[in-house]
Amino acid sequence: MGAVVAEESTEETLGVLVDILIHPDTGTIEGFYVQVAGAFRTGLFFCRAIDITRFGTRIHIRSVDALCDPHEIVRLQNLLEDGRAILGQRVRTESGQRIGRCRDAQFDTETMKMGWIFPKRFFRWKRGIAASDILEVTKEAIIVRDAPGPVVEEVEEHVSVFDPLEVAEPQVSRVRR
C-alpha cells in the first residue's frame, strides 16, 4: 500500500494505492482502491486488476477512465456486500488457535492470484501461510490448516559389516576315557 498509481500513456500521477480487493473464495485479485486527490476528481476510486498494465515502483493503469466507483461494477456487487475480507481479518487454525490478523498478502502479478498471507500479532510478524493452506474465509476469521505435528522417526541401529560379530563361541568339553 502506498504505491503511486500513474496513467500509462502520460505518466501522470493519479493517486495512491490504499487497499486491495481479494476474492475470499478463489484468492483472485479483483482490483485495487486508489485515493485520488486532484483538481477534477477527489475521493476513493476502484481500479480493476485487468486495467493494470505494469507493476513496478509505480503502478501503471490504462487510462484515468479505468478509475471508478466500485459499486458501478455489477460483477463486484455480491463480493462487496458479502463482507468477507482478507486484509485485516483474524487468522486462526481449524482447531481454534489464534494466529493474529492478516496484515499483508503476496500475489503473482501475472495470474493475479494470491500466494501467501502474512499474519501479525502484538506487533510481531508470524510465519507466512500459503494460500493453499486456507480452508475457509468467514466474516469472523480466515481458517487455516493446523500445523503438522513433529514427525518422530524410528532410528534403526546401524551395524557395519566391519564390526566384529558378537557370537557366543560354543564351549567344547572333552570327555576322557
pLDDT score at 6:
85
Split at pLDDT 50, 70, 90, the class of 136 is very high
Spell out the residues 6+ positions from residue 32 whose beta carbon is closer than 8 angstroms to its own.
Answer: 5, 17, 19, 20, 21, 46, 47, 49, 52, 59
Q: pLDDT, tens digit, for every residue of 43-62? A: 788 888 888 888 888 888 88
Split at pLDDT 50, 70, 90, the class of 75 is confident
Split at pLDDT 50, 70, 90, the class of 7 is confident
Structural domains in the chain, CATH included, are 4-82 (2.30.30.240), 90-144 (2.30.30.240)
